[in-house]
Amino acid sequence: MEWLRIPSAPERKRSKITKSPFYFFMMSKKTEWEEAGRWSPKKTMEDLVHATFPIWKVNQQEDPEFMAPFVEMHRRWKTEQMGDLENKYDSLGRPLADIEREMARQRKKVMDMEKEVEETVMKAKKRGSLNKTLFYVGYFNYLCKTDQGFYIPCEGAVVEFSLEKGISRCWQEFLSPLDSIPMGYQYRCTKYSRVSHNLCPEFERFATDYTQILSSLQQFLSMGQTSQSTIMPPIYVMPDHMEAAECITQFIMDKAGHSKTTNMLRVFSLPLLVLNLYNSSPKHNWPIEYLAQYTMEKDLYSHHYHLGCDFHEALENPTHCALSICKRLVFSLSSECCPAHNIPLKQGRHFPPEQGNPSSLTIEVKREMAMTSHVKEEGGRINRFVPAVCGVTTVPDDFDRGDVVHGEKGAFYPGLHPELRSTYDTTLQEEVQGVSTTYTGNTFYTLDTDSDIGVKMGSSVVATQMSINKYKNTRY
């Protein structure tokens, strides 16, 4: 029998050269050196690696932005290797070309944001007005996030501040979700609100006129501008809140019918601003943005009162109030940037007011806020999964130790209680005789002999085992 010989498929030729960012750096240096007559074509690629790698390492350590153009070259080369992206799809059926275009748009957006923030701080520093320049910090509460990635709005707040004066003005509004709550999301909204801001879709103080809401917010943002500009100053938020803030600000503009490219609400990264403000001081420097983000995430004033709106102050829940969060972010920023610029801190402007002061809310206002529709936080319920606290129990004076009865699990809690020896012996004798005994609770007892170790009191097994020990020759 002859075996059929089936020829295998020809192997595809793959390029052995992986064009990393370092590869493009080498090629650029090779071209530069050849034009200057410093490089011979007879030299190998290995010689080029040894010549360029030290330069690569030094530039990489001194300038973090040094690699950016070579990383972009590597990305373009990798895209070309993938071929036609229009006819290739990911696991969700999305064209890879659309994904690449969206990634490029996001990269450009981040680069433009970084450039604008840096230019804003540097221009203000050159004019000598950096300490008086106004910035805006915002936060937007939402009822919940849908499966489609939409954040259902319920509250928004923006705070105006400068390094010199601290907080100067505040804008806060309860944003009506209108018809944006999909069917079946009521429980999810209630569940999230119960552990956060306590707002619900039935809240009576929601503002529904989004044309007026957008107009008031635009007026608030443009009031501090010295020149007539069609570009609104950005609202700075934390990185983990940018997606929600962008979604809700876009929702405000859509419901207000704002379709112009001018006077749009823009959202920028707050740690990026903190980094540039801190580094604008000649004596201080943070190398990376993460240090600024870490400073802002501390939230040292999270449980301070007199910072939120009337509703959350009346419910004694200012921690999750959007206005309180904005103020606390400014306080955290001021605690780092103001000392770096030798600016004295003012109470109520750069750090919270005195907590011992009584609330400015009257009884009528508190009663009115309590009567509104809201979700009450979970509290006052007995957590039956938490065991009793261990410790020493105080014994009353009329306690008779002779009445102590051993529980069946007392052996698992050995202790030094020699006064219970008589009770221990009596109970064990009754077990051997077959006399029924009553056990209430667990008690400590001592272990005198090796045979007693590991004995479990109050069970027939104990009586059987011990009958061959101390009491096996005893007649009753």
pLDDT in tens, the chain (476 residues): 445 444 444 454 445 567 888 888 888 888 888 888 888 888 888 888 888 888 888 888 887 678 888 888 888 887 777 666 677 777 878 888 888 888 888 888 889 999 999 999 999 999 989 999 999 999 999 999 999 999 999 999 999 999 999 999 999 999 999 999 999 999 999 999 999 999 999 999 999 999 999 999 999 998 877 666 778 999 999 999 999 999 999 999 999 998 777 788 999 999 999 999 999 988 888 888 888 999 899 888 998 888 999 999 998 899 999 999 999 999 999 999 999 999 999 999 999 998 888 888 888 888 888 888 888 766 544 444 444 455 555 667 777 766 666 555 454 444 444 444 444 455 445 555 554 444 333 333 333 443 333 333 333 333 344 444 444 444 44
* Cα angle 78-84-85, degrees, rounded to a multiple of 5: 75
d(CA 171, CA 212): 13
Which pair of structure tokens corresponds to residue 83?
Answer: 């071929």
Quickly count: other Cβ atoms within 10 Å of residue 463's Cβ: 19
Please name which of 420, 415, 389, 388 lies closest in space to residue 404, comparing C-alpha atoms. Answer: 420
Q: Using CA atoms, how far apart are residues 254 and 258, in angstroms rounded to an integer?
A: 6
Q: Give CA angle at 112 (108, 118), nearest 5°.
A: 145
The pTM is what? 0.66
Sign of the alpha-carbon torsion through 402, 406, 407, 413: positive
- Residue 332: its pLDDT value, please? 94
First and final CA of the chain: distance in angstroms?
93
Please classify residue 355 by burial: count the beta carbons closer than 10 Å to its beta carbon, then call 0-12 exposed, 13-18 middle and 19+ buried: exposed
E strands, 150-280, are 151-162, 166-173, 235-237, 267-269
Phi, psi at 268, each rounded to 5°:
-120, 170
User: How far is 470 from 476, CA to CA, in rounded Å?
Assistant: 14
Burial of 132-161, coded b for 16+ CB within 10 Å and e otherwise, reads ebbbbbbbbbbbbbbeeebbbbbbbbbbbb
Six-digit token pair at 157? 């707040």
User: Is-contact 328 298, C-beta < 8 A?
Assistant: no
| pLDDT number for residue 124 | 92
Q: Write down the pLDDT at residue 276.
A: 93
| Enclosing H/E stretch for 142 | strand 135-145
Residue 149 makes CB contacts below 8 A (sequence gap 6+) with 243, 247
Q: Name the token pair of 32.
A: 């530069």
Predicted local distance difference test score (pLDDT) of residue 198: 92
pLDDT of residue 289: 86
Residue 133's Cβ-side half-sphere holds a number of Cα atoms within 13 Å equal to 18
**What b/e string do you get for 213-234 counting C-beta neighbours within 10 Å, with b at 16 or more?**
bbeebbeebeeeeeeeeeebbb
Q: In what order do the strands lie in the sheet with 267-269?
A: 166-173, 151-162, 135-145, 235-237, 267-269
